[in-house]
Amino acid sequence: SSVVSSPANGSHPPPFDSVHGKDLWALADDNPCFNDVINEAMACHTRLVVPRVAAACHDLFEGVATVVDVGGSTGETLAILVKEFPWIKGFNFD
């Protein structure tokens, strides 16, 4: 319980790190199956949220020529944005 209740900057590592001996991203780097699960979970969330944000904020993208997604994983977000706003050129860096 002390690990869970301690502040993030306290003397204990976060619970995930304590249980697995490394952070989420290091574990994903070491385990391709886990990495696939993480990527699909993020892409699933993206497929639910980004189309709604794009529809609600359509005017936000007027005049935007280029979008760079740093840490964009599989490129799901950019694919949705470029489909919704075909004038945008997208670059995905992961």
pLDDT tens digit at each of 94 positions of the chain: 565 565 555 667 788 888 999 999 999 999 999 999 999 999 999 999 999 999 999 899 999 999 999 988 889 999 999 999 999 999 999 8
**Can you give the pTM of this predicted structure?**
0.72
Any domain includes 69: yes
CA separation (Å) from 56 to 12, 37, 76? 41, 29, 18
In a domain, 10, yes or no: no
Does 31 map to a domain? yes
Query: 2 in a domain, yes or no?
Result: no
Number of independent structural domains in the chain = 1
Range of the domain at 21: 15-92
